[in-house]
């Protein structure tokens, strides 16, 4: 996979991870480009998030990313680290520090070793190319593999790269994503369109319900390609973001299965999303998914924790095409549902009978490996 016209990327090992794995990524635009961003709502947001938020609305030339260290909750040292890194990247590229965006991912509370990053920047600059692979590998933490997606728009394209496997919860989906396009589109509505795409894709992923301090998503546009119909471009952007969101759900830490929670018949979309998230983040239901146990009572309990006036007589719950609860009455079809839950991927549908709104939320099971991975997250 290659970057769209006007962009190049690189991924090198700077030594943060200490085992030779790639941990420093760089995306460079040939000239200043428009961009949009979406960031965590967490009150303990990392220095890189605060830096990028302040630059919304300005043109950018580069994004520098490190994995293996979140540079979060590190006090003034964290802000100084962002300043040092942006100044060095700007010097290498020949732009202003305010034209450099920053993202970090890894353990919280550990000072960022800026000397390692700065020392590796010349190698990163020297290895810039049109290939997406090295950058995609450089941003990984507990991911089991790279996550990329592409939309061909005919004379232009959209390329997306993401990482995310744990601490997946809305606001955003606790992840990093970098979406790059060369489509010639109006720049004024870029933020609005991207915000909507993030809301309906990345913000609909829940793996463990734990929000991060660093999650960020970027959309960069060079306008070097052909002019693209706005509706076609918007659909392409949504498809790329949706593809990356599904890859994150499939790669949830320790996950053996992924599932989609579809809520239908809600009074409005916000209610549908809230109900879907309640089921998707339920530790009890996710554990049941791991064991292929169609314990639909855990789904009902999750729904009721959000909707205190849940009408059981209107509620229908299905696993795949098997109804386990029909208008409040158990069907006794657990054996049929269990067979469906043996699959690597399946659907849960909750029809609540309160209106006409619907939503879909992605999630993954909770396995023993999830506990093992997170029992030693900082060591």
- Where residue 45 sits, what CATH number does that domain have? 3.60.70.12
Residue 366 predicted with pLDDT over 70: yes
The residue that leads in pLDDT, 294 or 173, is 294
| Residue 132 and residue 52 share a domain | yes
CA distance 222 to 86: 21
| Residue 61 and residue 88 share a domain | yes
| Closest listed residue to residue 175, CA positions, set 273, 246, 262 | 246
| Residue 242 and residue 341 share a domain | no
* Mean predicted confidence (pLDDT) in 71-83: 95
Q: Which of 230, 250, 270 is the last residue of a domain?
A: 250
Q: Which of 250, 271, 301 is the last residue of a domain?
A: 250
| Residue 325 and residue 222 share a domain | no
pLDDT value, residue 9: 98
| Residue 220 and residue 297 share a domain | no
Q: Which of 212, 233, 250 is the last residue of a domain?
A: 250
* Mean predicted confidence (pLDDT) in 80-87: 97
| Residue 127 and residue 36 share a domain | yes
Residues acting as catalytic residues: 174
Residue 14 predicted with pLDDT over 90: yes
| Residue 189 and residue 70 share a domain | yes
| Residue 76 and residue 123 share a domain | yes
* Mean predicted confidence (pLDDT) in 165-171: 49
Altogether, the residues listed in the chain come to a count of: 379
Whether 358 and 262 have beta carbons less than 8 Å apart is answered as: yes
- The total domain count for the chain is 2
pLDDT value, residue 360: 94
Residue 232 lies in a domain: yes
pLDDT value, residue 59: 96
CATH code of the domain in which 265 resides: 3.10.20.340
Residue 2 lies in a domain: no
Q: For residue 252, what is the enclosing H or E element? A: none
Lowest mean pLDDT among 134-143, 263-272, 306-315, 363-372: 363-372
331: containing domain: 258-375
| Residue 237 and residue 100 share a domain | yes
Question: What does pLDDT average to over the chain?
Answer: 91
Cα separation values, 350 from 142, 312, 361, 366, Å: 31, 11, 12, 20
Residue 348 lies in a domain: yes
pLDDT value, residue 207: 65
Residue 331 lies in a domain: yes
pLDDT digits (tens, 9 = 90+) for 193-208: 999 999 999 988 876 5
């Amino acid at each position: 996979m290659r970057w769209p016209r006007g962009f190049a990327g690189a991924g090198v090992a700077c030594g943060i991870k200490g085992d030779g794995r790639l941990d420093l990524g760089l995306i460079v635009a040939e000239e200043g480009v428009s961009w949009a961003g979406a960031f965590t709502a967490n009150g303990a947001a990392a220095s890189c998030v605060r830096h990028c938020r302040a630059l919304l609305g300005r043109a950018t030339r580069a994004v520098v990313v490190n994995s293996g260290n979140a540079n979060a909750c590190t006090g003034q040292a964290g802000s100084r680290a962002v300043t040092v890194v942006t100044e060095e990247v700007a010097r290498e590229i020949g732009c202003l520090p305010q034209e450099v965006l920053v993202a970090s991912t890894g353990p919280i509370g550990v000072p960022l070793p800026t000397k390692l990053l700065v020392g590796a920047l010349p190698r990163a600059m020297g290895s810039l190319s049109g290939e997406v692979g090295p950058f995609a590998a450089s941003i990984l933490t507990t991911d089991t593999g790279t996550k990329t997606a592409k939309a061909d728009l005919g004379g232009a394209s959209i390329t997306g790269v993401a990482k995310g496997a744990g601490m997946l919860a809305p606001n955003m989906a606790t992840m990093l994503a970098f979406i790059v396009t060369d489509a010639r589109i109006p720049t004024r509505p870029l933020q609005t369109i991207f915000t909507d795409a993030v809301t309906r894709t990345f913000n609909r992923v829940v793996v463990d319900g734990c929000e991060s301090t660093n999650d960020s998503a970027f959309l960069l546009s060079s306008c070097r390609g052909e002019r693209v119909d706005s509706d076609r471009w918007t659909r392409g952007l949504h498809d790329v973001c949706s593809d990356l969101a599904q890859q994150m759900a499939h790669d949830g830490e320790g996950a053996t299965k992924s599932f989609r929670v579809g809520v239908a018949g809600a009074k409005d979309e916000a209610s549908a999303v809230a109900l879907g998230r309640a089921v998707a983040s339920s530790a009890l239901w996710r554990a049941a998914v791991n064991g292929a146990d169609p314990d639909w009572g855990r789904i009902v309990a999750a729904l009721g924790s959000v909707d205190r006036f849940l009408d059981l007589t209107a509620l229908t719950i299905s696993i795949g095409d098997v109804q386990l609860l029909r208008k409040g009455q158990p069907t006794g079809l657990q054996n049929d549902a269990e067979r469906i839950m043996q699959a690597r991927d399946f659907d849960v549908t909750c029809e609540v009978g309160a209106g006409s709104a619907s939503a879909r939320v992605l999630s993954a099971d909770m396995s023993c490996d999830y506990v093992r991975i997170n029992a030693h997250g900082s060591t």
